[in-house]
Each structure stands twice: as C-alpha cells, then as structure tokens.
Structure 1
C-alpha cells in the first residue's frame, strides 16, 4: 500500500502581532500626559521686585499679573480689576481645587493700590491663600 503525503498550505502568513506593543505605547503615552506638569503663565512678562527674604514655594494654581501700566492679566487675557473676583471663582471651579492658591505677580512699578485691590478681590472669591510673588535678591 502506498502512502500519500499531504501538504497543507497555510492560508495565513506568519507575522508578528503588533497589538501588545501598541497597547504598551499608548499606556506609556497616557502615563506621561497624566504625570507631566505644565507651566502656567499669566500671559504677560513682568519685572518682579527683588526681596532678600523671599522664599520659594509651590506655584499658585491661579496666576494674576499686574503690570506697570495698570493692566490686570488672568489666564492670558486683560481683565478689569472689578471682574477679578468672578474670574477667580470661575477658574477655581474649572481647576476643581477649592483649596487652591492665588499668586499675584505684580510689576515692581505697579501701583500698590491696584495690587491691594486685586488681592482683595481674590480673597472675596473665597481664596484663603493669596501670595505676592517676588524675586530673590540672590542672582
């Protein structure tokens, strides 16, 4: 009796499955996006006054800049000093951090009265931690 050899052709080609590698890449991408910290800016460049006793602290969640020309900048736009409270309340809700801080970055030539008004508006918005930014005296 004669035996026949059957050769079966494979319909599928042998290849490398890239699905697990893509899963790992996407998980790493999500990890880096979640753990990265973004630099927050008020929207305008100011010259902070120098102070020898200034101490470094964590950045505020909401940055407000007061320029020498009397402009108030929040979230990269010029706002009226009377609307600072509303803007801070809106940003606190958007950031979902009710215990967040406000950092006022006043130019060294800014009017003191305007800076005090801005800080007062931030406190009226319910922020307990309002700080004034200063540069260190050490270069």
Structure 2
C-alpha cells in the first residue's frame, strides 16, 4: 500500500483541476431567482396629461410608494389606470388614495401623492386632489414636470 501512495505522490507534473460547472449552475440559479423575485417599479403615464415645464425638474430618486393621480386639462381626474374610470368626487379620490396608502404602508414604503397635472388645467382641480389625499392621511406631494433641458417628464 505504501508503494502505491509513493507512486501517486511521486507524480509532480499533473496539476489539480477544479470543476467549475456546479458553481456556474449555482450562479445562473441565483440570477433567475433574483429576476423572478424582483418587482420593477413603473409609473404609468396618462398620454392626455401634458405636465408643465420646470427649469429645476429632477429625475425621481425613489419611485416606490407613489400614488399617481392624473388631472387632465378639462379638469377630469383619473387614477393611475385610466381604464378604472374617472374619480368624480372628493370622496372617490380619498378612498382611492387611502386604499393605495394602506397597500404601500404594508409593503414598507412611505406613501406619497404623485400629482400629474396638465399645464392647461386650473389649479382648483389639483387642490381638490391634494385636499382629498390629506384627508386620506397622505401629506407628501410630488408634482410632475418636464425637465426644461431634456423635455423629459419627471
């Protein structure tokens, strides 16, 4: 037995090689896991709303927890999904904001009102949305605007 051991130890010209295929498989499994688990944050925009231009508009740092409300030029108020219909009364807006506020708080996000008002709409409609959001417990408001330099909605 010791002769065999000496014979195996005596071969110095062979290098040890590590099989990397299990590690590569693990990396791909982790990549697929994180892609499936992640939730992309997309702020939908109503094509009918044309926000104002602002010289100091900034790209949003955090899109999580945004409760998007669109105010069109004619004063109609829509939720983020226009297909859901018009938010006609202040109570409708308050209920919509309260429902999303609870959802975002349960997910651990700080709810904020993202107000997308058309540049030709009268401010009283936006004020109505802000007041309804305050009644629902959301006091942080983000106004959407176009960046003057890039002409890109923020």
TM-score for both structures, normalised by structure 2: 0.65
| TM-superposed deviation, 1:29 | 3.3
**Cα distance change of structure 1 residues 113 and 75 upon mapping to structure 2, 3 Å threshold:** same
- Distance (Å, rounded) in 1 between the aligned partners of 2:77 and 2:30: 41
- 1:125 pairs with 2:136: yes
Q: Which has the higher helix share?
A: 2
Q: 1:111 aligns with which of 122, 131, 135?
A: 122
Hey, which bits of structure 1, 4+ residues long, moved more than 4 A?
23-27
Return 5+ residue gaps in structure 1 as ranges: 1-20
**Cα distance change of structure 1 residues 134 and 81 upon mapping to structure 2, 3 Å threshold:** farther
| TM-superposed deviation, 1:26 | 6.2
Residue in 1 that maps onto 2:78 = 73
- Distance (Å, rounded) in 1 between the aligned partners of 2:53 and 2:74: 19
| TM-superposed deviation, 1:100 | 1.5
Return 5+ residue gaps in structure 2 as ranges: 1-24
RMSD over aligned Cα, in angstroms? 2.5
